[in-house]
Structure 1
């Protein structure tokens, strides 16, 4: 079949204009959907739309407010170098507010001497340091405690950070 045998396209609007109008109508419909749901929790609607498109976003990180309790550890050790009574009292007082979360960060300095003696892992030693402080805090504090690790040159420590995590319905 030759090109001459094809029929002429019908006269009318260009195809791109129809597509643009469809897109504009979809956008208007989306805004109507958002405005029509005044009684619905908007964060739940946004979360549902994100999940519908396959986007999974974690909850926002707590906002750090204060830090205390820097414990300086010996190289290769996760044994607490001093008493945790003062930091435990500070954390207990701060954790009375249910919106508060504590983060304990364990640090290693990155040198060959600052590793876990049993496994040779610096990350495991940092986690052990953070867990030792968190365990001491958990005895006196009913706060939410998160544990993180870090490798920072020249720092063999554990740091307790107080953060405002906000009000959440799923948090006890």
Structure 2
């Protein structure tokens, strides 16, 4: 009789090993194809009730604007509209924020230049069809790391509808 309980106790180990191998195969399959990995992980997260991460685009201001000005250059306008395309037709709030400061040496000092560039981005998005009531200009933020002092980054973030 002592052999029977020992055999029953070993059954859970076999089931557990099967489960581990199944999970290992699943994650190996996800890792093997990078393009479908993000889609699959998003689907798994939504199935289990995970919150969707907000869409965000960080753009280097020097590449968007004329030097020392708050006027978008043609390539910068195209880059801005391309980066904002995924969030233009949603009903969520769009926050525009400046991180860091460019050196202002013409008409503007650094703070005025950052603020004027935020306004130019907002006007461009409104002209492209984003309703003004969806836009929030968050203002100036200090750079978390000092890796690029003297550089301004324009951050465009899609927020949940409740973040007003």
TM-score range, shorter chain: 0.3 to 0.5
Q: Of the two, which has the highest radius of gyration?
A: 1
Higher percent of residues as helix? 2
Taking structure 1 as the reference length, what is the TM-score of the superposition? 0.44
Taking structure 2 as the reference length, what is the TM-score of the superposition? 0.46
